Structure 1
Amino acid sequence: MTTFDPAAATAQWMATLSPEDTARAVAYTQGGHWLLLWGLIVAIVVAWIIIRTGWLTAIRDRLERRKPRPKLVSLVVGVVYLLMSFVLTLPWSIYQNWWREKTYGLTEQPFTGWLTEALMGTGISVVFGGLLIVALYFLIRRTGRAWWIWGGGLAGVAVIFMLLVAPIFIEPLFNTYTPAPDGAMRDAVVELAHKTGTPDDKIYIYNGSKQSDRYTANVSGLFGSARVAMSDVMFAKGADLAEVRGVVGHEMGHYVHLHSLWLTGVMVILAMISFFLADRLYPLARRLLGAGRVGDIADPAGLPVLAAVLAVVGLLATPVTNTLIRTIEEDADHFSLVQANEPDGLAKALIKTAEYRAPSPSALEEFLFYDHPSVENRVRRAMEWKASHPPEEPALDAVEAPATPVS
């Protein structure tokens, strides 16, 4: 009797990646590491430009010429700031989010389609962001030096609100969600939903290929509003039943274990720490950026200064947030293995994600930059599971690709 060797099985899976595909994935991934630094530089330069124009202080002074109007100033200054930031960062966004993805073959979306969606996203961000800015500056004025505590709570409320609203009102603006057709694939997802306690009345396929060629699925929403959504890219890339069960089982793990709420709770703490540091570093940043006409941290005209400080803090906190998310992703993988018991299906799906995530980084690179465990580590864990948990039944080989939703 031949003993199953997880290390050898992992090596076999990794060998299915061609040297060319691996080299392209490494170039894309490591280039993405540098984008973090360049993104910070862009954020600081944009903040400096907005301050130098003097538009925000001019708007503040005009609105408060006769009497203080803190809420109105916060709203108008916030909206103008968000619009100016969008315009000034647009060239960078085009490069990072469209041209680079196009160059690496990760999207087929035409530029006009990308720009249209970017404008839509900005419109939504301006509405919600403007209200959030009003609330934040209200807390700063009312709670004084303790504003960073209340600001963290506000961040948590905003995240939960978006978790509830986005699947229902926002995501359908960008993609078409079609109920999964009857058949073996839907039956497998429904069966797994029953087993895991995930709602089974909203199982969709969406035209994710409209924006990206990335192999992906998700379970979004909270509690009874949850829905299972699989990108049509999965089926275009030949997903079989074992893959579907493995991938959807992973996403159901996020839902069942309330990862979004755990993540929100930790993010509240991180937001408090970030706001605390921003409060202390704000005077120094204001001097360095030459914002002489900007008041203290309660002045909405200082939004560019506050944003620049938070950008620096956010970059420094990247390893912390990445470690948190990696831990959650590992737990979701384990959930999938326990509930779906499809280690080969999960491994096959993971290999398909290696085109945009270098599969075998060093331990240091993974710690610093990866918000998911590396593909090689995830496949190895799946093979270790397989060694001690034989499959309950033979995996079916193929799933008929559902019709691609019409956008």
Structure 2
Amino acid sequence: MGRKILYGLAGAALLLPATAFAATNPHFDVETATRAYLDLLQGPARARSDAYFEGGYWLILWNAVVAVLGYVVLLRTGLSARFRDRAERIVKWRWLVPAAYALPFVIASTLIFLPWTIYTDFLREQHYGLMSQSFGAWLVDQGKSLGISIVANAILLTALFAVIRGFRRTWWLWGAGVMTGLFAFGALLGPLIAPMFNSYTELPAGPIRDRIVAMAAANHIPAEHVYLFDASKQSKRISANVSGLGPTIRISLNDNLLNRTGPDEVAAVMGHEMGHYVLGHVVRMILLFALVFIVVFGIIYRVAPAVIARNPRWGVRDIADPAATPVLALIAAIASLVLTPIQNLIVRTAESQADAFGLDAAREPDGFAKIAMRLSEYRKIEPGPIEEALFFDHPSGATRVRMAMQWKKDHVPGATMVKPDIKLDAK
């Protein structure tokens, strides 16, 4: 009941009591209707989906291992200390030394991790039929990301080492604040950076745009601009998103969603994205991840000085030395690995709330179920409960289809089970 009240206050006045239509739908079996959708994914297609997603479980571990090994290379070879020495020679002001250090640090880190990045982000995606780019085009995008990373790390390291120098006992709290601030700044600039990778245009006039605008108006969402972006040049994934913060916030959908799905599915997805907007998930996620940053920086505060003291050959003077950056990063990588289930829970909770909102806003339970099944091309459709809790940052397809069919039973007069009419891509 509390969730229904929340959604009502948020502007989703379409939600009706679960008992309103239950008496009129006594023969609608939620589990049977759910199974009709889940059984669409069979044989090689299901095996491929499961293999791709389950492989991602191991990637969580291996990403952390590769990160730790890469940062150890920077430390044991003395590269990090040399980057610091060079920065001190070329920069007059001490407070700018971390910014000068960031340039070689980010470039060297990127080159060390590049073979692993090529495997995880290009070859593996290509193997599972999810990659649309050529290797050359993919490298161009990686180059753009490198430039953004250099600027972001220069800002982060400048601010972080300033608080380490200025607040020796409480820098970890201030450091978490710095990280949260940069996170929020990145959210603010997201819509301005995205056109570096994709072309954004106004969604063409027509029934789909009209329905999106009507849904937005019903939920008091500004909808002067609805954006379409050409994600198909990079991937076959269906997606839409709420990006930005404050004056830059906007709702966008990609061309795969528009071209590969029906109007009911587009409405279901956009209802979900409007849920993120109305429920204030961008700000809420920043605040929740601020707590995660506090934990991570608290661990770094306790562990990093001892690690530095035990390894004098690295040439790192102390925690306030920019050359300590790889130490901070490798501890953060390990802490983030341990905290993965917590981070997934934060995101999954928000996604589930947006799912519920979207069903109320679009009133397309079968469209929502069809989208959940299409996402099974790269998301395991039916995990166990522990598996879903540990590894899923979105509700599983089975959870989403079941939610949609329960909503249909509770809110659609005379609800009947339909035979799903979609064809899932095996590759």
Aligned: 1:18 with 2:31:
no
Q: 2:36 and 2:312 mapped to 1: Cα distance?
A: 57
- Residue of structure 2 aligned with 1:95, choices 119, 123, 130: 119
Higher relative contact order (CA 8 A, sep 6+): 2
Aligned: 1:330 with 2:341:
no
Normalised TM-score (structure 2): 0.88
Change (3 A) 1:288 1:23: farther
Normalised TM-score (structure 1): 0.92
Shift of 1:67: 10
- Residue of structure 2 aligned with 1:279, choices 301, 316, 325: 301
Residues 200, 229 of structure 2: 8 Å contact kept: yes
Shift of 1:240: 1.5
Shift of 1:227: 2.1
Shift of 1:391: 6.8
Change (3 A) 1:262 1:66: closer
Secondary structure of the residue aligned to 1:145 is: coil
Residues 98, 322 of structure 2: 8 Å contact kept: yes
Residues 71, 326 of structure 2: 8 Å contact kept: yes
The alignment of Structure 1 onto Structure 2 pairs a total of residues equal to 395
Aligned: 1:263 with 2:263:
no
Partner amino acid, structure 2, of 1:97: D
Residues 199, 224 of structure 1: 8 Å contact kept: no
Secondary structure of the residue aligned to 1:205 is: strand
Aligned: 1:182 with 2:205:
yes
Q: Which residue of 2 aligns with 1:303?
A: 325
Shift of 1:269: 1.2
- Residue of structure 2 aligned with 1:377, choices 399, 406, 419: 399
* Per-residue Cα deviation, 1:12-44 (whole angstroms, up to 9, x for no partner): 010111321111011001111101111111111
Q: 1:204 and 1:113 mapped to 2: Cα distance?
A: 23
Residues 188, 246 of structure 2: 8 Å contact kept: no
Secondary structure of the residue aligned to 1:107 is: coil
Residues 87, 101 of structure 2: 8 Å contact kept: no
Task: State which drifts further: 215-224 or 87-96.
Answer: 215-224
Shift of 1:367: 1.1
Change (3 A) 1:67 1:345: closer
Residues 66, 113 of structure 2: 8 Å contact kept: yes
Q: Structure 1 stretches of 5 or more lacking a match?
A: 399-407
Shift of 1:76: 1.6
Shift of 1:75: 1.2
Q: Which residue of 1 aligns with 2:94?
A: 70
Secondary structure of the residue aligned to 1:202 is: coil
Q: How much identity, in percent, do the aligned residues show?
A: 39
Q: Which residue of 2 aligns with 1:401?
A: none
Residues 318, 324 of structure 2: 8 Å contact kept: yes
Secondary structure of the residue aligned to 2:380 is: coil
Aligned: 1:49 with 2:73:
yes
Aligned: 1:166 with 2:190:
yes
Q: Which residue of 2 aligns with 1:388?
A: 410
Q: 2:344 and 2:58 mapped to 1: Cα distance?
A: 16
Structure 2 counterparts to residues 222-371 of structure 1, below 5 A: 222-237=245-260, 239-286=261-308, 291-371=313-393
Shift of 1:283: 3.0
Residues 265, 368 of structure 2: 8 Å contact kept: yes
Shift of 1:393: 12
Task: State which drifts further: 210-219 or 70-79.
Answer: 70-79
* Per-residue Cα deviation, 1:240-280 (whole angstroms, up to 9, x for no partner): 22111110000110111111111100111110111010111
Q: Structure 2 stretches of 5 or more lacking a match?
A: 1-24, 422-427
Change (3 A) 1:193 1:50: same
Shift of 1:351: 0.5
Q: 2:118 and 2:311 mapped to 1: Cα distance?
A: 26
Change (3 A) 1:55 1:225: closer
Change (3 A) 1:273 1:134: same
Partner amino acid, structure 1, of 2:316: V
